[in-house]
Amino acid sequence: MTQTQPRPVKIIPRSDHDISRKYIDENSLKVLYRLHRHGYKAYLVGGGVRDLLLGRHPKDFDIGTDATPEQVHKLFRNSRIVGRRFRLVHVLFGRGECIEVATFRRKPDENEIPDEGHFFCENVFGSPQEDAFRRDFTINALFYDIADFSVIDYTEGLEDLRRGIIRVIGDPDVRFAEDPVRMLRALEFSARLGFDLHADIAPAIERNAELLIGAAPARIRDELLELFHHKVAGKVLQRAAKLGLLEFLVPDMQPAREGFDLLRQLDLRTATGKQVDEPMALAVMFLTPFRHALNPDMPLGDVHKLANRELSRHCRRFSIASGIRHQAREMLIAFFRFARGRGRRGEQRFLRHPFAPVGFELFKLWCECCGEEQELMQSWSAALEGSEEQKPRPRGKPGSPRRRRKRKNPSPRP
Ligand code: ATP
Ligand code: MG
């Protein structure tokens, strides 16, 4: 059943749950206690509570309170008010740590949401209960109250957490229409936590997929990157393709089996502790169509054009900076140079190219994924490490100065 009606709140005392303060970040505790000492409600909210209850290490700890942003700002000298649509307070600590404090709010009416620009919602503060019901999934709407260390559950989130279910708060059609990015988040949390989607979610995604066209590209881009950081890009994008969401999510990506396998291989690599950044994510997403359009004797200039062609529409759509696109493109070109084999002209220079190591990572990923070109991979690996026997380069006598090649058509130097 969907969660449509507010139910009686469940309060789970400290003795009946496993959240211990020793797993809560020290600075978040400081903020919670200070708010509490000054008479405000102070709750840990959202993903932090969910992850602590699951025995996982939360990515961050967000705080909810009934103090207004101005009141919070007054309490913390090291804070600033931020946000365009909704105002929040960032409390800053050493080493760049930032704790986000949000005043409880209700779902704003449509005419209360500012479209663009500098105006924020004035009248959207609400009760803790309203704050719980504006959230996306029941498991993301749990609160931990610093006043008595209890867990507060307005949406039956604890039961869903126990049963491993992602359930939309309210009617999925309505909530997905309100914010289509929630469709992607449903798939993301299902993959990250190994939870099942409630039976009403997949059909609602199929019905509402195209609404994603209207979502802000910057938000989609952020959520996409989250998929890579959480090692679920392959699973989620493949499932998105099945539900008809991918074509509106990443319209320029082809839903090919081979591409999803490669994404899964990248997720496995991330799971070993290796960093994944946006250029790598882009190179992997667009490697398959790039590879299919290549032939081993293609001149590098054409390979360059091809890589650009594969990346540019996506990068334009999501306003991805040219520096990031440049890195992704260089990785694709390096992939081509590794894949076409050894012994080509300029090999030694290529091996010293700044993008050779990351390009090799991409090539290695592909070899591991499809089980091909293992020997070539080993051979390149040795060459990159400089551990293979160096063939003497054709030069003059030892010790004699290197001769420079004469430039054809020398142009006047400045
Ligand atoms: P994690 O940070 O581990 O990725 P999270 O649950 O903390 O997971 P955030 O994106 O940090 O996710 O959002 C914090 C909380 O804000 C969520 O737990 C949820 O309650 C609420 N939230 C985030 N995005 C939405 C949304 N699109 N609609 C409704 N509520 C949302
Ligand atoms: Mg979070």
In a domain, 65, yes or no: yes
**Mean pLDDT across the stretch 180-204?**
98
pLDDT of residue 168: 98
Lowest mean pLDDT among 103-112, 137-146, 180-189, 328-337: 103-112
pTM score, whole prediction: 0.89
* Ligand with an atom nearest the CA of residue 227: 1
Distance from the alpha carbon of residue 69 to the mean position of ligand 2, in angstroms? 19
140 CB within 6 A, ligand 1: yes
CATH label of the domain that carries residue 76 = 3.30.460.10
**Mean pLDDT across the stretch 47-71?**
95
Q: Distance between CA atoms of 267 and 279, rounded to whole angstroms?
A: 15
Number of structural domains in the chain: 2
In a domain, 70, yes or no: yes
Q: Relative to the CA of 178, which ligand 1 atom is closest?
A: 28
For the beta carbon of residue 329, count every other beta carbon within 10 angstroms.
26
Is 56 a residue whose pLDDT tops 60? yes
In a domain, 79, yes or no: yes
Do 162 and 40 belong together in one domain? yes
179 CB within 6 A, ligand 1: yes
Do 161 and 22 belong together in one domain? yes
Lowest mean pLDDT among 10-14, 94-98, 271-275, 305-309: 94-98
Q: Distance between CA atoms of 101 and 88, rounded to whole angstroms?
A: 6
Q: Distance between CA atoms of 327 and 311, rounded to whole angstroms?
A: 11
Q: Which two structure tokens, joined as six digits, stand for 247? A: 């074509």
- The maximal CA–CA distance of the chain, rounded, in angstroms, is 89
pLDDT of residue 399: 33
Indicate the Cα dihedral angle 231, 234, 237, 240, nearest 10°. -100
pLDDT of residue 345: 87
Report the mean per-residue pLDDT for the chain.
90
- Catalytic, 60? Answer yes
Q: Phi and psi for 70 in degrees, rounded to 5?
A: -65, -45
Do 27 and 164 belong together in one domain? yes
In a domain, 42, yes or no: yes
Residue 21: pLDDT band by 50, 70, 90 thresholds?
A: very high
Is 153 a residue whose pLDDT tops 80? yes
In a domain, 185, yes or no: no
Q: What is the pLDDT of residues 227-267, one digit of tens each?
A: 999 999 999 999 999 999 999 999 999 889 999 999 999 99
153 CB within 6 A, ligand 1: no
**Mean pLDDT across the stretch 100-105?**
96
Residue 121: pLDDT band by 50, 70, 90 thresholds?
A: low
Residue 402: pLDDT band by 50, 70, 90 thresholds?
A: very low
Residue 5: pLDDT band by 50, 70, 90 thresholds?
A: low
Do 165 and 282 belong together in one domain? no
Q: Phi and psi for 166 in degrees, rounded to 5?
A: -95, 115
Q: Relative to the CA of 188, which ligand 1 atom is closest?
A: 4
In a domain, 141, yes or no: yes
Q: Distance between CA atoms of 102 and 63, rounded to whole angstroms?
A: 6
pLDDT of residue 413: 40
Q: What is the pLDDT of residues 265-283, one digit of tens each?
A: 999 999 999 999 999 999 9
pLDDT of residue 108: 73
Domain limit, last residue, from 105, 140, 170: 170
**Residue minimizing CA distance to atom 14 of ligand 1:** 46
- Catalytic, 51? Answer no
In a domain, 22, yes or no: yes
Sign of CA dihedral 154, 156, 162, 167: negative
pLDDT of residue 114: 54
Domain limit, last residue, from 112, 143, 170: 170
Is 390 a residue whose pLDDT tops 60? no
Q: For residue 154, what is the DSSP state?
A: S
pLDDT of residue 122: 55
pLDDT of residue 109: 73
- Catalytic, 62? Answer yes
Do 158 and 24 belong together in one domain? yes
Q: Distance between CA atoms of 58 and 23, rounded to whole angstroms?
A: 9
Distance from the alpha carbon of residue 182 to the mean position of ligand 2, in angstroms? 14
198 CB within 6 A, ligand 1: no
Q: Which domain holds residue 71?
A: 1-170
Beta strands in 123-266 (DSSP E): 142-145, 150-153, 165-166, 196-197
Domain limit, last residue, from 118, 137, 170: 170
In a domain, 62, yes or no: yes
Distance from the alpha carbon of residue 58 to the mean position of ligand 2, in angstroms? 8
